Structure 1
Amino acid sequence: MISALLTAIVHHADRIPERAARWAFTRAADFVWLLHLGSVSQLERNLRHVMGPVSHKRLRQVSREGLRSYFAYFCEALTVGGRSQEELLARIRTEGTGFPEPSLSNIKDASLPIAMGHQGNWDYAGFWAGQALGPVTTVAERLADPQLLEDFAQIRRGLGMHILLTGQPGLTQTLTQQVLQEGQVVPLLADRDLSRNGVFVRAFDSYIRVAAGPAVIALDAKLPLYTVNMHRESLATDKRSQAHCDSGYVCSIDGPIDIERYLAMPRQQAVQELTQAWVDQWAEGIRKFPQDWHMMQPIFIEDLDLNRLHQVPDNLRQLMEERAASTTARNQHE
């Protein structure tokens, strides 16, 4: 039922008043948050790792903002077919150490492997990159509902992106070949990967498993790696009139991470350390704007069943065993 409704929204986006759609999605977010439905508890567990020892009231406040941001993304993604190029470009601006505005012309012909997380509106970011930098190739995660998967893939193709699907043979090699062509942009949502190919890295006060793809592609193509963070912002008056909405996004592009020193390392060590480098850079953006990180799934090692995961490093298994023993001893003492 919900999938059918979402599909209907996609196919009639130009007939749906955006203000009404945003209002409805915001109310839905508030309803889910208030009743603690779905993955709200998991979102709050993730936020606690990022935010540290904050009050329950503050945690709930940020999780409410997070739910609203998450639902806003879905509203925008489903109705993007009804937006003009002028509206979309007015809804996003860039900043960061990677591409300060004056140097855009200097890197326009370079190919760019990019690591990013589930933040803000990555569809808008892909659209902007296609307009400002060059052709964009990225990967969409396979969904259980094939029609919904096709709808989301078509949304991104409509924004000018070339879409590949997870699980297809030789995916990383295909992406590497793509980025080896001049002027290509390959951004990958890489902040969660529980497959045997994922890489465990330090993040915040714990460990997470992220995708190896960005590091592997950068190493194989011998190209610097960039990171992207996104967060929502209120638009200035002149931008609101162009965007026909009150809020937009900041796309913070940081880097480049020079890979020269990693090329001299053994392969596994190079992938591990380069992945840690982009995660360190990316995590700074999450700390600043945790409400725009749409991570509703278990990601931190404390929430994962290590017995069901492949290739977990021995030191992490030992760490979790020690933590479990410490917790048990503390509970017995109390």
Structure 2
Amino acid sequence: MSELGYAAGWRLIRRLPPGVTGAAFALGADFAARRAGPGARRLRGNLARVVPRADEAELDELTRRALRSYARYWHELFRLPAMDHAAIRAKVDQQISGVEYLDAALAEGNGAVLVLPHSGNWDAAGLWMVGYAGSFTTVVERLKPESVYRRFVAFRESLGFEIVPASGGTGSFRLLLDRLRENKVLCLVGDRDLTGTGIEVSFFGQPTKMPGGPARLAASTGAALLPVGMWFTEDGWGVRIHPRIRVTSRSEVPAATQATADIFAGDIAAHPTDWHMMQTLWATDFVAAQEAA
């Protein structure tokens, strides 16, 4: 059923008028906000960390808008194969900032590690990157069922992304090292630890873990570690490439990961409803969930 749902999304939604499908996705988001299921409640709890002074009514509105933002991402994802890719790149090009930091990294010849949170539309940003710097390499979570994972891999490869599975082990890490030594670009999501082996950081004043892989890759190769912020604009996508975080040895990886978390926090605080974090993130929330269970 899951695979049929995704297949229908990619086959049908792009063939229908975008105004109709966009309105349907927005209505679905509003329904999810009223229903307040587990994902919506977790999103609301995460937003309460980001906007700690919000009262209950403000949190309700933030959650509704965040779910609409998430619905917009999925609507665009399903329509992306039929959209004008040149127009998407042009729209991102109008609103992106910090490209000079990427240019400087590639001019050095050691590649670039772009690390980003679950915000905005990372597929639209990736499409821009393909047009600007050629194919880039990214690591993706291995979804279940396997058929859905294969659909996502095929979709993103059709956009020009090189996909590496997160469960690929040491072979995947060596491939990423090779790409940096070839002066290529890596784009890695870095605001949630999927392995349990991440580095502890302070994020919005509370402890959590974030993956140390991006900083380790930069330290091992001399590549530039470049945090990226993303959000939606009214008719497009905002992207900000931040200045390089210097990391020259393994001993500096924890500090570089904390610096990345701080930059993420700034961008997310500026655009909280475009942060699509519907999973448990902070250590205290994991403990509360275990106690409740």
Q: Is the 8 A contact 2:42 2:278 kept in 1?
A: yes
Q: Is the 8 A contact 1:108 1:133 kept in 2?
A: no
Structure 2 stretches lacking a partner, 5+ long: none
1:289 and 2:277 correspond: no
Partner of 2:188, secondary structure, is strand
> Which digits, 9 at most, give the CA deviation of each residue in 1:100-128, with x for residues without a partner?
5xx77655555210111100011111111
Partners of 1:6 and 1:88 lie apart in 2 by 23
* Distance apart, 1:87 and its partner CA: 2.9
Match of 2:177 in 1: 176
Partners of 1:106 and 1:224 lie apart in 2 by 9
> Which digits, 9 at most, give the CA deviation of each residue in 1:183-226, with x for residues without a partner?
x1101011111423211101102011111111111111112210
The number of residue pairs the alignment matches comes to 287
> Which digits, 9 at most, give the CA deviation of each residue in 1:272-314, with x for residues without a partner?
1111111111211011001000000000111114999xxxxxx
Shift of the 307–226 alpha-carbon distance from structure 1 to 2, 3 Å rule, reads same
Identity value in percent: 28
Partner of 1:285, secondary structure, is helix
Shift of the 180–214 alpha-carbon distance from structure 1 to 2, 3 Å rule, reads same
Q: Which amino acid aligns with 2:273?
A: Q
Match of 2:244 in 1: 256
* Distance apart, 1:86 and its partner CA: 2.4
In the TM superposition, 1:39-188 aligns within 5 A as: 39-93=39-93, 94-96=95-97, 98-100=98-100, 109=107, 110=109, 111-170=111-170, 171-182=172-183, 184-188=184-188
1:221 and 2:216 correspond: no
Shift of the 104–281 alpha-carbon distance from structure 1 to 2, 3 Å rule, reads closer
Q: Which amino acid aligns with 1:290?
A: P
Match of 2:21 in 1: 21
Partners of 2:253 and 2:247 lie apart in 1 by 10
Shift of the 173–15 alpha-carbon distance from structure 1 to 2, 3 Å rule, reads same
Shift of the 162–13 alpha-carbon distance from structure 1 to 2, 3 Å rule, reads farther
Which is helix-richer, 1 or 2? 2
> Which digits, 9 at most, give the CA deviation of each residue in 1:21-56, with x for residues without a partner?
211111110100011124111111111111112111
Q: Which amino acid aligns with 2:222?
A: K
Greater Cα radius of gyration, structure 1 or 2: 1
Partners of 1:107 and 1:187 lie apart in 2 by 14
Q: Is the 8 A contact 1:192 1:210 kept in 2?
A: yes
> Which digits, 9 at most, give the CA deviation of each residue in 1:61-115, with x for residues without a partner?
111110001111111112211112223224424444x425xx7765555521011
1:196 and 2:196 correspond: yes
Aligned partner (choices 212, 235, 252) of residue 270 of structure 1: 252
Q: Which amino acid aligns with 2:285?
A: D
* Distance apart, 1:164 and its partner CA: 0.9
Q: Is the 8 A contact 2:112 2:224 kept in 1?
A: yes
Partners of 2:181 and 2:72 lie apart in 1 by 35
> Which digits, 9 at most, give the CA deviation of each residue in 1:210-250, with x for residues without a partner?
1111111111111221001111112xxxxxxxxxxxx2110
Structure 1 stretches lacking a partner, 5+ long: 235-246, 309-323, 325-334
Partners of 1:187 and 1:55 lie apart in 2 by 36
Partners of 1:47 and 1:250 lie apart in 2 by 20
Partners of 1:7 and 1:200 lie apart in 2 by 38
Partners of 2:289 and 2:9 lie apart in 1 by 41
Q: Which amino acid aligns with 1:188?
A: L
Q: Is the 8 A contact 1:50 1:205 kept in 2?
A: no
Partner of 2:236, secondary structure, is strand
Match of 1:328 in 2: none
Shift of the 137–84 alpha-carbon distance from structure 1 to 2, 3 Å rule, reads same
